[in-house]
Chains A and B, each alone.
Chain A
């Protein structure tokens, strides 16, 4: 410290006092807390209006009491339970704060659509996708911690011991990946910091919804080191992470966990997002899952080689609705696409991805969708209320690895 400079600076603020105190800080914290709870309800209403059901449904498809925290009873004095409660409360606060952001973005999306601001709507939609991923991750972690607390309180003895699956050092931090056998065929993978034992990320799977993936970026600022892990189907022998943007792919083998029908994997990578692809012993891709971790803003841009996607019905109408495409990391994204035919949803239709070819258009990829069942895992189809208030067919989602003709 340079005494002369210190003296100058001290004199510049010698009698300057803050106007707010400890009570203001505590009041503000309570206000943030309450605002998050209030807007959770508002979000549900907005979702119903806008029809972006998939985006935020995960916040609303469970009883709200899941996020209210843990009641003080039954009595438990263990430090472990107390620590779990603190973690659950922290995640609940994060979810509520996220809910505020989602509510705000949904409103902006609605306004942008009403104003015909396509590029604005695309930016907001991209942000919503990131927020959805964040919600999903937090929700998984929340469910996992609630389960752990439940096991601790209800069945403190005989709880299964964690089994090490992998370990490593990323950005100077040691971590371990452990598997825990839950009830009813559910397996849990926990990524733990070795120094504190803190669970920083977790996935839960029962074999019916694999692959389930998650990850965590160690280190702050740049560069970070990411660990991507998850549960995959039993025929999966290797997993790749394709981060896109010219970054190298990461690949690793899978291991059996706990004698269940699932296998586990862990990869280290430069970035904690991209497409996780499960492969069988012949190297054939058998499943994809998009991973976007909180705070990772995707690079989104309109895709020039494709002009648009559009829905064509099987009837007389050749053109029903269209939407621009955008690139979301290594995957093409279809903006929510609404269509109706005489006020009834379509039951058979085709989604066309159309590329530019001089003065004429050529068909890039044709997907036939039957009813509400998606033919691609990432292509969602269903009924929804569109921004103009009518019930319409809704198609949204993306196609991993689609590179065009």
Chain B
């Protein structure tokens, strides 16, 4: 039985991590902020239904990924014409190198690999749970995560 909670408590528990996930997925803090807000708005509008779900968190990420995909369709052309518009994250001096390296390495992954790695290795979904978010079976998720991790390490090694 799903545990009932308030939307406010759900927001408090999930919003920050949702935002940070999409910083990793999109590489753009503004875009991540937009997606996180819109996803939470949709959840709020459907809260009476979402709160009864077995896994509201999976539904949240599924909603956010769909929104991001739709946004990307509209903005892809504009972005391809512009120079890199992704903003620079505020850095503490000693963390800059690692942060930029990881972000650059993530950009080298395919979108599917990046999302799978973030769901499993950042957010802690197991393969079955990530599969429910992505509408994939667990084996397909494992394959994406495996390839994503390998590509990530390879790129970090190259950069290092």
Contacts and interface: CB of A to CB of B under 8 A. Distances in A.
Contact of A8 (B20, B23, B102): B102
Contact of B99 (A6, A11, A24): A11
B103 interface: yes
Given A2-B149, A221-B135, A9 B118 contact: yes
Contacts, number: 91
A8 B38 CA distance: 27
A220 B11 CA distance: 25
B58 to A, nearest CB: 12
Q: Is the interface of A mostly helix, strand, loop or mixed?
A: helix
| Of listed B20, B29, B103, residue having the most chain A CB within 10 A | B20
A25 B124 contact: no
Contacts of B33: 18-20
B50 to A, nearest CB: 12
Interface string B7-50: 01001100110011001100001001100111011001110100
Given A29-B41, A86-B48, A90-B46, A11 B20 contact: no
A14 interface: yes
| Of listed B8, B37, B152, residue having the most chain A CB within 10 A | B37
Contacts of B90: 15-16
A13 interface: yes
A253 to B, nearest CB: 35
Interface in B41-78: 41, 44-46, 48
Nearest to B30: A19
Contact of B41 (A1, A5, A28): A28
Contact of A26 (B15, B44, B48, B89): B44
Given A8-B102, A9-B24, A24-B37, A14 B8 contact: no
A17 B36 CA distance: 12
Interface string B78-105: 0000000000011010010011001100
Contact of B19 (A8, A18, A32): A18
B99 A22 contact: no
A10 interface: yes
A93 interface: yes
Contacts of B37: 18, 20, 24-25, 28
Nearest to A26: B44
Interface in A88-119: 90, 93
A99 to B, nearest CB: 16
A21 B11 CA distance: 9
Contact of B95 (A6, A11, A28, A93): A11
Given A28-B41, A32-B41, A1 B124 contact: yes
Q: A interface, how many residues as a size bin?
A: 20 to 34
Nearest to A32: B41
Given A11-B98, A20-B36, A6 B48 contact: no
A8 B105 CA distance: 11
Contacts of B48: 86, 90
Contact of A25 (B11, B98, B103, B122): B11
Contacts of B92: 15
A16 B102 contact: no
A86 B52 CA distance: 14
A330 B145 CA distance: 43
Interface in A1-57: 1-2, 5-6, 8-22, 24-26, 28-29, 32
Contacts of A22: 8, 11-12, 15
Contacts of A221: 135
B120 interface: yes
A101 to B, nearest CB: 13
Given A1-B120, A5-B117, A28-B37, A13 B20 contact: yes
A216 B121 CA distance: 37
Contacts of A2: 120-121, 149
A93 B45 contact: yes
Nearest to B90: A15
Given A9-B24, A9-B102, A90-B46, A18 B41 contact: no
B122 A10 contact: yes
| Of listed A1, A5, A93, residue having the most chain B CB within 10 A | A5
A340 B89 CA distance: 63
| Of listed A6, A8, A26, A32, residue having the most chain B CB within 10 A | A8
A22 B19 CA distance: 13
Contact of A9 (B38, B41, B121): B121
**8 closest A-B pairs (Cβ-Cβ)?**
A18-B19, A12-B102, A5-B121, A13-B20, A9-B122, A25-B40, A221-B135, A29-B41
Interface of B: 8, 11-12, 15-16, 19-20, 23-24, 29, 32-33, 36-38, 40-41, 44-46, 48, 89-90, 92, 95, 98-99, 102-103, 106, 117-118, 120-122, 124, 135, 149, 152, 156
5 contacts: A1-B124, A6-B121, A9-B118, A25-B40, A32-B41
Given A2-B149, A24-B37, 19 more contacts: A8-B98, A8-B152, A9-B121, A10-B122, A11-B98, A12-B106, A13-B20, A13-B99, A14-B95, A15-B90, A16-B20, A18-B15, A18-B16, A18-B32, A22-B15, A25-B44, A28-B37, A28-B38, A28-B41
